[in-house]
A and B are shown apart, each in its own frame.
Chain A
Amino acid sequence: MLQHSIQLHSIDYVLLVTYFVFVLGIGFVLRRTVSGSKDFFESGRSLPAWICALGFIGANLGAQEVMGMAASGAKYGMMTSHFYWVGAVPAMVFVAIFMMPFYYGSKARSVPEYLKLRFDEKTRGFNALTFACMTIMSSGISMYALAKLLSAILGWNFHGCILVSGVIVLAYIFMGGLTSAIYNEVLQFFLIVFGFLPLVLLGLKDVGGWDGLVAKLVKPATDAGFAPDTWTHSWSHTGSAATNPMGVEWFGLAMGLGFVLSFGYWCTDFLVVQRAMAAKDMGAARRTPILAAVPKMFFPALVILPGLIAIALHSAGGSFQLPSKNGGLDYDMVVPTMLAHYFPTGMLGLGLTALMASFMSGMAGNVTAFNTVFTYDLYQGYIKKDGNDAHYLAVGRWTTVVGILASMAAAYAAASFNNIMDILQLVFAFVNAPLFATFLLGMFWKRTTGHGAFFGLIAGTVAAAIHHGLSLPHGAAAGIKGGWLGAVHVYPSEMAQNFWTAIFAWSTCFIATILISLLTRQKKTDEELGGLVYSLTSKIKERDARWWQRPALLGSIVLALAVVLNLLFW
C-alpha cells in the first residue's frame, strides 16, 4: 500500500485552490445566462462546435478513463489502444454522420425522448429510468474513487473529499446549468493535457525514447510468457486469445468492443450525446463528435503511454517500483506513482489538480445528464405534464441537488458494500449492451414498432444475463464474475467474457426486435416518423458548406487517420 506517499507543499495547495476559484467563477458568471429551462438543460442550443467537441470528450475523460487506461496500458500494453482506434473513433464518426440528424433534427430534448417520439412511452420510460440510475451510480463511483485515492496518497479525510467534490460540482451546475458544466469540461480538458503531457515527456526521456521503451518492454512480455514484442503491438498477437494478455481474439475484439460496446456507448449514451445537442445548429452538432474524435485519437499518447513507461521502469528494477496488491501489481496506482516519481513540488500540484479535474468532469457530466433526463422524461413525463417553464427550471436545479446527494449516497454504498456496486454495474452492462440494436433499427428501418423495440430490449438484456450466468472467466469462482447458472464455457479473461456477453445481447435484441416488429402493427404514421427515421427524412444538403464544415468529408479524414494509426502500431 502506498501510504501517504505524496507530500504536498503550500505551492501545490495554491494551484489547487486557484483551480477551484476558476471553476466556481465560471458558474457564477454564467448564472445570468440561465433564464429558462432550455438554457439550463440544453445551453440554449447556442454553443459553437469546438466547445461542444471538447465538452464531448471532457465529459468522457473521467478519472476512470485517465487512471484506468494507464492501468490497462501497463497490464495489456499497446492493445489498450483498441479502446480508441477501434472503439471510440469509428463510433464517434458514425454518430456524427448518421445519427445526429435525428437527435438534433427531431424535437427530442434527450435520448429517451427520442425513443418516445420514435417508439412509445414504455420504451422511453425503461431507458430513462435505467439511465437515471446509471448516471447516479457512475457519479457516485467517481466520487468514491477520488476520495479513496486522496485519502490513501495524501492522508486526506475521506468524508471531507466526498463533501468538497460534491459541493463544488453542485455549485457550478446549480448556477450555470449545462453551459457551466461544458465550459468546465473544456477547462478540465486542457488541464488534463497540460498536467499529463510533461509526465509522458519526462518518462519517455527517462526510458530512452520510443526505441528505449520498446526494448524495455520485452521483459514484462516474456516474463508473462508472451512473445517479446507483445506489449508494443495492437493487432499482431490477436490471432488467438492465448497469445495476448487481454485474452481476446480479433473477432471478439472487433465485434464486442469495436461494434457493440463502443457504438452502444458513443451513439446512445445521453451523457455524451447531450454535449452535441447543445450545439448552435445542425452543422455544428454533426461536427461535434468528429472534432472530438481528433484529440481522442491521440489520447493513447497521454493515458496509455504512462502505463507502458511505468511497467517498463518497474521491470527494469530501478528506483521506480509499482506498489503491489493481493499478490499482484496494483495497476490503478500507475498514475499516482508516476506523478510522485517525476513531479517535484509545484508540478505535483498541477498534476493533482489535473487528476481532480478529471474526477469532477466525469461527475458533472453524469449529473447534468441526470437532471435533464429526470426533469424532462420522468418528472414532466409522469408526474407533472403541464407546468410552466420556470417550474421545470426550478425542478432541474433542485434535481441537481438531489442528484449530488444521491451520488454521495452511492459513493458510501460503494465504500461499504463492494459487491452491491459490482452487481449494479453488471445489471447496467446488461441493459446497455443491446441498446444500440434498438437505435439502429429505429433509425434505419421504419417498420420497427414500439412493441418490437421494448420487448427486443428486454430480450437482449435477458440474453446478456443468461450468457453471463453460463460463462466464467478463467480462474474465477462462480458468483459475481459469472457462472451462477452453472458455467458451461470458460473464457480466457474477464474482458473476453464481457465482449461476448455484449455480442450475444446485441444479436438477440437485433433479431428479437425484427421478429416482434414483423408480428406487431406499426402504430406510428409516416408523418409522425418524419425526421426520426432515415428513409422518411429529407437528406441534409452539404453543397453550400465549405469543405471543413462537411461532416462526411471530415469523418472520412478522421477514419483514414485511425486506419493509419492501427497500421503503425499493428
Chain B
Amino acid sequence: MNDLEFDNVSKRYRVQDESVAKTGMRARLRALRPTFNEFWAVRDVSFAVKHGEVLGIIGHNGAGKSTILKLISSITTPTFGEIRIFGRLAALIEVGSGFHPELTGRENVYLSGSILGMRRREITENFDRIVDFAGVRQFIDTPVKRYSSGMYVRLGFAIAAHLNPVVLLLDEVLAVGDASFQEKCLARIDELKRAGTTIVFISHDLGAVERICDRVLLMDRGTVSATGSPADVIAEYERVATTFIDAGIPAHQAAVLPRLARVSDLLILDSHGDETVALSTGDSFTIRLTYEAQEEIRDTAISLSIRAQNGDFMCEFSTSTDIPMLNLVAGEGVIEFRCSQLGLQPGKYYFDTKIRDNDWQVKCITLRVDPGVVLPGAFYMPHKVRHLPASDLAVERRAVAPRSAEAKRTLPSRVPVPAPATSKPSE
C-alpha cells in the first residue's frame, strides 16, 4: 500500500531574463515582451513510498531535492505529472515559519498550528503538551521577538511534532539547533517511525540518512539516477561525488602487464562479517579479494594500496608478509586480509590492487572512515593501557628480575651490542 506516489512528474521554472539592460528606449520596449530562461528542475520522476517506509533522497545541490520537497508539500505545482498523497502530510521544514515577531508565543502557536493544518480545537487540546515539550512555559505570553534562537526553534518544532501525520516530510531542519535539541528531534522521529509513519527524508547528512532510512533515492540534475538500500546508494553517490586525485599507473608499466590474473571483486567486511562501505577508526575488519587467473601463477604477491582523497599513499596490505611465495590457482580464488584495528583517521579513501607482474587496478573501491576512536594525529596506532600504582610496578620488576647476579650485570644494556668473540652471549 503506497502512501505517496510520484507519477512522471516534471517541473519547469521560467525565470525572467533580468540580464537585459534596462536603460535606453529600445531596451525598455523590448522589456515589455520579457524573455524567459527555462530550466527543468525535475524531469520525469516517478517513485512510490510504501506505508511505514522511510525513504531518503540525496544528491548534489541543484539536483532537484528542494523542488521535490516543494512539490510534495504543494508549495508549487508540477508542470507535468501528478503527485498523490494518501494521508495527512506534515512537513518539518523551516520550523518557526509563520511566526510573527510581535505576537506572543501563545498566539504564534495558534497561528503556526493553523498554518500547518491543525484545527483550533486540536491546538487547544495539545497546547499544554506543546509548551512543555518546548520548555517555554515561562515565556509563553511574551512576544517571540524576545525569544532566544533556541527557544524559537524548539517552539516551532514542538508545534510540528504534535501533528501526528500519516506522511512526514523532513529536511535539514535537524541540522539547526544544539545537540540536545537534535536528540529530541531524532527521538520524536523514532517514535513516529515505530508508530508506522511514512517518512520522506531529504538531506545532505549521509550518516543520518543511513541511520534512519529503509531505502534511498539518488537525484542527479533533476532525475532519479539510482535507488536501493542506503549503503549501496550512498556508496554510489560518494563514488560519483568525491573527487579522488589519481596517483596513476606509470604508463610504461601499464602497457607491459600481461594480465593473466586479475582482481575481479573486492569487498570490505565489518567485524560481524557484513559487507559495508564505511568503517570507523579502531574497527576490526576483513578485506576479501577475489581474483581470476587464466592459469596457475607461481611466486607472486597481491597487494592493496590505500590512498587518501588527495592521492597520498597511506598504507599497504600485502600477501608477502604472511605468504612469501603466493601461488595463484587457475580459475577463481579468494584472499582475505584481516585487520584487528583500523588505524586510518576519518575521511575518504580508495583502494588500488596489484598482482605482481600481472595486474594493476586503480580506485577499485572507496572506503569511508567515520569517527570511531577519536584521537588526533595522522593515523591511529592501536594501544592498550594499564594503570598501576608505582609500588605494584616495583613488585613486578622484581618478579621479572634475573635470578643470578651475573646475569644482572648484563641486564642494563638491552641494546644488542656486537659481542666480542670471546665473551659469553648476552641474554
Partners in one complex: no
